[in-house]
């Protein structure tokens, strides 16, 4: 097992409006944790956290019972100065009627490893220029786009233009694991440029397969996984030279490309396949 260590801030979407944000010192923030029940079929949030931000008191945004550790709970507007971070809570509303329908909502802004993050919670209206100035510079914007209970795709697009973040991560949209009467993410991303759908896993397993020219891309994917610090497990029942039908190209990539990344020989986990 190889792990190419890279100390940098990481953002992992857990589902709905919940994210796990990990600093380079492994300090962890979870935003708006949901309760996995009813219409929410995402897995329970059992990660460990040091801080949890809660934008409002609905159970799809404030459920902390499954979270491990003893996290500090951050709620409400104002400056929350803690040991590792300062969280700025900005008052807003869950609807466009100044909260008369669904109550208040808190926008949270905080800096992790010199990256300014803004989580809009269940924002239900467009923001005034004063609020946008209060938010300030944003590098990563976590924004609801599903409508019905929050701003919709068009409103989110307008708000992104006004806030002008470097990176936009949509949240709070319909998926097969979320049975809410809201829209999916496609109306928001339609017509936009520089879109990347991220499907990264924690570990990559390279099985004991034969290599032809058609699946050399598997090795390329493993290279990319190593390059961004993922664990790669190679399961080998027989040497790759016995399974290489690419005139040595697969063997070359496995040894030479990976050695360039790791600076030491690759090794294998030998397995016995039980049939």
Total domains, the chain: 2
Per-residue pLDDT, 2: 39
For residue 197, tell me if it sits in a domain: no
Same domain, 18 and 123: yes
Same domain, 56 and 178: yes
Edge-to-edge strands, sheet with 28-31:
10-15, 18-22, 28-31, 51-54, 72-75
CA-based nearest residue to 19, from 230, 198, 224: 198
Structure-block tokens of residue 151 = 């701003």
Final residue before a domain boundary, out of 166, 189, 212: 189
pLDDT digits (tens, 9 = 90+) for 170-205: 999 999 899 999 999 999 988 887 776 665 556 666
Task: Extract the residue ranges of the chain whose pLDDT is less than 50.
Answer: 1-6, 260-275
Final residue before a domain boundary, out of 158, 189, 220: 189
pLDDT digits (tens, 9 = 90+) for 102-142: 999 999 999 999 999 999 999 999 999 999 999 999 999 99
Go through the chain and tell me how many residues it has: 275
For residue 83, tell me if it sits in a domain: yes
**Whole-number Å distance between alpha carbons of 59 and 155:** 25
Do 106 and 123 form a contact (C-beta atoms < 8 A)? Answer: no
Query: HEC profile for the chain?
Result: CEECCCCCCEEEEEECCEEEEECCCCCEEEECCCCCCCCECCCCCCCECCEEEECCCCCCCCCCCCCECCCEEEECCEEEECCCCEEEEEEEECCCCCCCCCCEEEEEEEEECCEEEEECCCCCCCCCHHHHHHHCCCCEEEEECCCCCCCCHHHHHHHHHHHCCCEEEEECCCECCECCCCCCCHHHHCCCCCCCCCCCCCEEEECCCCECHHHHHHHHHHHHHHHCCCEEEEEECCCHHHCECCCCHHHHHHHHHHHHHHCCCCCCEECCCCC
For residue 194, tell me if it sits in a domain: no
Same domain, 83 and 170: yes
Residue that is written with structure tokens 């993410």 in the block = 185
Per-residue pLDDT, 38: 86
Q: Which domain holds residue 68?
A: 2-189
What residues form DSSP beta bridges with 72?
51
Same domain, 48 and 183: yes
Predicted structure pTM score:
0.72
């Amino acid at each position: 097992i190889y792990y190419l260590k890279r100390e940098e801030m990481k953002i992992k979407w857990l589902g709905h409006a919940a994210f796990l944000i990990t600093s380079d010192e492994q300090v962890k923030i979870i935003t708006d944790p949901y309760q996995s029940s009813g219409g929410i079929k995402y897995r329970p949030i059992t990660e460990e956290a040091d801080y949890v931000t809660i934008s409002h008191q609905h159970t799809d945004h404030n459920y902390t019972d499954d979270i491990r550790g003893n996290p500090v709970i951050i709620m409400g507007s104002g400056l929350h100065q803690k040991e590792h971070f300062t969280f700025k809570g900005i008052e807003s509303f869950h609807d466009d009627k100044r909260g008369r329908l669904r109550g208040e909502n808190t926008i949270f802004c905080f800096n992790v490893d010199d990256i300014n993050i803004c989580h809009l919670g269940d924002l239900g209206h467009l923001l005034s220029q004063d609020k946008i100035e209060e938010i300030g510079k944003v590098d990563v914007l976590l924004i609801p786009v599903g409508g019905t209970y929050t701003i919709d795709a068009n409103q989110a697009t307008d708000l992104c233009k006004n806030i002008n973040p470097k990176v936009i991560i949509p949240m709070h949209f319909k998926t097969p694991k979320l049975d809410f009467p809201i829209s999916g993410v496609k109306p928001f991303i339609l017509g936009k440029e520089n879109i990347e759908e991220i499907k990264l896993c924690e570990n990559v397993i390279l099985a004991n397969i034969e290599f032809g020219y058609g699946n050399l891309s598997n090795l390329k994917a493993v290279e990319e996984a190593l390059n961004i610090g993922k664990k790669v497990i190679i399961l080998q029942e027989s040497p790759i030279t016995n399974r290489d039908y690419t005139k040595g190209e697969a063997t070359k990539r496995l040894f030479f490309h990976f050695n360039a990344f790791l600076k030491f020989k690759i090794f294998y986990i030998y397995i016995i396949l039980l049939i």
